[in-house]
Chains A and B, each alone.
Chain A
Amino acid sequence: MEDYKFLFKVVLVGNAGVGKTCLVRRFTQGLFPPGQGATIGVDFMIKTVEIENEKVKLQIWDTAGQERFRSITHSYYRSAHALILVYDISCQPTFDCLPDWLKEIEEYASSKVLRVLVGNKIDRDDREIPTHVGEDFAQRHNMYYLETSAKESDNVENLFVKIATELMEQAKSKELPRYDEINSQNINRRTTSIDVTCCGN
């Protein structure tokens, strides 16, 4: 068994081109990928962060924003612990779509999921959505709000660390099932565990 105490699934959603992949790359690899194309289906990354001396493993699912991948991406909502809904502060239409995204989240995600609204690309000087508008929207829909720049590495680490911290606190207060318990769950003194890493690697 790997050395971590908590495992959380984090899923990024939002319109195509708002910078989901860039945010994930910035966080997991510390770089701003030049000219990578639109995501096909879903991308998967793992990063372990340390919070209050505890190792927290984040399973990050970076979904494609394009419409034709929706039936793939919807399947990831249900088991997500946190959903990051991203829009581009310099592109009004990506903000206008937020209600549609919320509808999808309502339909497919768990009601307990941690929801975070992120306005990305704050390095750009052609901002179309003022900070307070994003904040208001988030507040009205009971979401956390953060503004980031994947390009300038602004607030990106903070975004994921905040999520990890919040989820860990929730898990500690038992609102969430803890994954390490589930992975080797002790049901009536019999151990049921699923070992998926039995082949390959």
Chain B
Amino acid sequence: MESSQIADFNFSNQLKFNIQDLTSQEDSGESSDEFSPENEFLTEEHRKLYSQLTQKENEVENELEKLLSRHCHLETKIRGITKVLPNLEIIHSDAKQLYEMISFASTLAENVSHKVRKLDIARSRVSECQQRVHDLLDLQLCCDGVQTSMNSGDFEKAAAHIHRYLAMDQNLLEKTADDVHQDSKSVNNSISLLKEAAVKLQEILTSKFNDAVAKQDSNSVERFFKLFPLLGMHDYGIEKFSDYLVDKVETSSRKHMKTASETSLTDKRAAVLYSDLLTHLFEDIARTIETHQPLVETYYGPGRLLKLVCRLQDECDRASQAVLSEMWRSRGLEKLTSSIKSGTHKSRGDPKEFDQLLGELATAHSRYSLYLHFLRRKISMDTEEEKQPTVLAALEEKLKSCVLCRTMEELLSAYLILEHHYMEESVRKAIAMDTIESGSQCSSMIDDVFFIVKKSIRRASSTGSIDGVCAVINNACGVLENEMCTKLNATLKQGYPTGYLDLAQAYSMIHARLQPSDTEQAKSLFIAHLNNTEIGSEYVTTLASGLAQEVQCPTQTDRSKLEGCLSGLSSVCAAMGMAQDLGLQQLANAAIKPRLAPWIDSFLALSHNLTEEEFSSYEANEPFVRSLIANIDGIVSEFRSSLTSGNFESLVTFLADEVNSQMERVIMKMEFNRLGGLALEREVRALTGYLNSTTSMSIRERLARLGQVAKLLNMEKINEISDIWTRFNWRLAPGEVKKVLKLRVDFPKEEIMKLKL
């Protein structure tokens, strides 16, 4: 505080000095006043100097004033600081006090914790000591106990004693023996006795276990199996026990093989002999694992099952190999697949046999998938959460390299070749045997083909292999496109045969020597195949969404694979749709266009330049529209029940389009007056109303252009156009409107030209 006051002083002193300096400068300035301006000897230069000096004086004076004004401000500040200074002193002393208190507390804490640590060490020594005493006591107990229980054949008790001994810290035990000087002999004695007993017990248990195995005494096997871990023989125990279980599985599978070899060909299981054998094998192993897993987990702890499973898998490899190679041979798979691959396969004999073989192969693979699933589930249940990835990876490693998996992959491959062949052949056959049953809109192929395709895909799905299902779906897409769509396309490309001859058709009919009944047949074939395209698209769509739901996908990758393959079915839909478009076009070209033209041409003969009288009789007779509707209705009812609803709607749409454009064509060749226009608009309305009533969809839009033409021709005065021009969504361009208006004989041409649209 004092020092700062001093500094303060210094500062204000300095300020004063500076001020004195300045004033003295000013004084000297005043003295120069003696050179009065009147002095005649003064030169220009002096004058200049003088004015400079005066200017400087002013500047200095200003600065001085500024500084002086700040002086007062500074002084208040200094006063403020002086006031605060005592507080700082207080804070300083407080801090010092706090520091002392804290350092005292910390020393205190240090002391306390030191003591606690010491106490802790002492306590742990005490408990260690207690442990040693316990161990010593137990050692004696075990030593005495093991002898007696071994002698009396109570191996459970003996093993328990050895287990207790093994649980003691061996190093510590020996150190204790050294520490207890007077009694060291007896301790050492006990240790060596127990060591001996452990070895002896191991030998006894091993031989007893082997005896039990030899005698097939499963109770004793289990009894001794439980004791191995007490002697620290975990691995040994699992190994021996696995051997024992493998033996049992082997015996059972040999027995099954033997019965199988004696099965007569007429037996009802003969067709599924090998898938039955594999099923037995997988079930045997699964049951073995299922029943013994609790035993292993209880007495050996978790994580030991993998070893057992691996040993059993080796046996599974051996046994399945025997079954599969026999299957491969006796079912002639090698020959079948290679003859199909080379395209030399002759479908010999019973297709039912082929079907059965496919069923057997699919079942075999399905059992295998279930078996793998079982192993994975069991192993993951046997493993602690954090170890699961590594243990499961070890299992996968084992499975990947095992013979069973490789052989099953080969089996799946053979199955897929056969399934593809089956599907292709059956579909071809179904198409070749295509018939049209009365009362059905489609032909028989559509249901037959989809039945076959669905059956194949479902069977593939039962194998449990996503790659398998996906391959069959891919193949199905190929078969549907190459066989069915191609066939439908071929029929539709030939066109719809009409009985109504134009010259070209008559000519080709003579050449093809078609009988009228042939024409009828060809007609219904065309219609059925056109309907097939519509129903086929629907079936494909349903199939795809059905499969997306029913095929089981264990992983997200599997699901995206499946979806990727199912999207291939949409290109089948597209091919089907293209065939359908072609068919509809052909149908329209043959059955609508040529018939409609003459009917509509008859309109030309009916003058629409009418007097009142003519108009009334025209209205009464309806010479045109009534017969046109009757004629069109003939076409409509011809196809109403024979076409599927989508096709029928498309046909009616086409019909409407055709009426729309052909009517316009003839109207443009005619003349109208007001009453003629009125008659026309009524006729158009009747037509539109009729066509609209033929289907549930709205057809009016399709006839909008014709309606607008009629509306134009039915105007009372030409200037009505300015009123209605803004009210409608015109299908006619302004030029076309004018053209139509010119058909009205009573509208002056110049006025039409002048219209601004």
Contacts and interface: CB of A to CB of B under 8 A. Distances in A.
Most-contacted residue by chain A among B417, B472, B559, B581 (CB, 10 A)? B559
B376 to A, nearest CB: 15
Given A188-B584, A192-B537, A75 B475 contact: yes
B570 A182 contact: yes
B413 A72 contact: yes
A194 B544 contact: yes
Interface in B532-570: 537, 540-541, 544-545, 547-549, 553, 557, 559-564, 566-570
Interface residues of B, number: 53
17 contacts: A40-B409, A41-B467, A44-B560, A72-B412, A72-B413, A72-B467, A72-B471, A76-B474, A183-B570, A188-B577, A188-B581, A188-B646, A192-B573, A193-B570, A194-B569, A196-B548, A199-B549
Interface of B: 400, 406, 409-410, 412-414, 416-417, 420, 465-468, 470-472, 474-475, 477-478, 537, 540-541, 544-545, 547-549, 553, 557, 559-564, 566-571, 573-574, 577, 580-581, 584, 646, 649-650, 653
A41 B463 CA distance: 14
B55 to A, nearest CB: 74
Contacts of A198: 545, 548-549
Most-contacted residue by chain B among A70, A76, A187 (CB, 10 A)? A187
Contacts of A197: 548, 563
B549 A79 contact: no
Given A68-B410, A78-B478, A194-B567, 12 more contacts: A44-B560, A68-B406, A69-B409, A72-B470, A75-B470, A75-B475, A76-B474, A182-B570, A185-B577, A194-B540, A195-B544, A195-B545
Contacts of A183: 567, 570
A68 B410 CA distance: 5
Contacts of B562: 196
Contact of B566 (A9, A188, A194, A201): A194
Nearest to B408: A68
B571 A182 contact: yes
Contacts of A70: 413
A68 B537 contact: no
Contact of B545 (A41, A71, A189, A194): A194
A123 to B, nearest CB: 28
Contacts of B646: 188, 190
B399 to A, nearest CB: 11
Nearest to A195: B545
A187 B471 contact: no
Contact of A78 (B477, B540, B541, B549): B477
A61 B477 CA distance: 17
Chain B contact surface mostly:
helix
Contacts of A68: 406, 409-410, 413
B567 A187 contact: no
Contacts of B412: 71-72
A130 B118 CA distance: 78
A165 interface: no
A82 to B, nearest CB: 15
A165 to B, nearest CB: 22
A44 B560 CA distance: 8
A94 interface: no
B343 to A, nearest CB: 10
A23 B89 CA distance: 77
Interface in A19-49: 37, 40-44, 46
B467 A188 contact: no
A25 to B, nearest CB: 13
A78 B474 contact: yes
Contacts of A43: 557
Given A72-B416, A198-B549, A42 B467 contact: yes
Nearest to A181: B574
A44 to B, nearest CB: 4
Contacts of B478: 75, 78
Interface of A: 9, 37, 40-44, 46, 59, 61, 68-72, 75-76, 78-79, 177, 182-183, 185, 187-190, 192-201
Contact of B571 (A40, A76, A177): A177
B306 to A, nearest CB: 19
Contacts of B537: 187, 192
User: Which are the 5 A-B pairs with shortest beta-carbon distances?
Assistant: A41-B467, A187-B577, A75-B474, A71-B416, A75-B471
A79 B571 contact: yes
Nearest to A38: B400
A195 B545 CA distance: 6
A71 B570 contact: no
Given A68-B413, A185-B574, A196 B563 contact: yes
A51 to B, nearest CB: 21
A196 B545 contact: yes
Nearest to B477: A79
Given A79-B477, A188-B580, A200-B553, A194 B573 contact: yes
Given A68-B406, A182-B570, A188 B413 contact: no
Most-contacted residue by chain B among A70, A72, A75, A201 (CB, 10 A)? A75
B420 A187 contact: no
Nearest to B570: A194
Contacts of B577: 185, 187-188, 192
A187 B573 CA distance: 10
Nearest to B533: A187
A40 B408 CA distance: 12
Nearest to A79: B568
A28 to B, nearest CB: 12
Contacts of B561: 42, 44
A43 B555 CA distance: 13
A190 to B, nearest CB: 6
Contacts of B413: 68-72
B580 A187 contact: yes
A111 to B, nearest CB: 13
B468 A72 contact: yes
A41 B400 CA distance: 13
Contacts of B474: 75-76, 78-79
Contacts of B563: 196-197
Contacts of A79: 474, 477, 568, 571
Nearest to B411: A68
B471 A71 contact: yes
A46 B567 CA distance: 14
Contacts of B466: 41
A42 to B, nearest CB: 6
Contacts of B649: 188
A10 to B, nearest CB: 12
B646 to A, nearest CB: 6
A30 B632 CA distance: 66
Contacts of A200: 548, 553, 559
Nearest to B578: A187
Given A46-B560, A68-B409, A185-B573, A196 B471 contact: no
Contacts of B541: 192-194
A167 B549 CA distance: 32
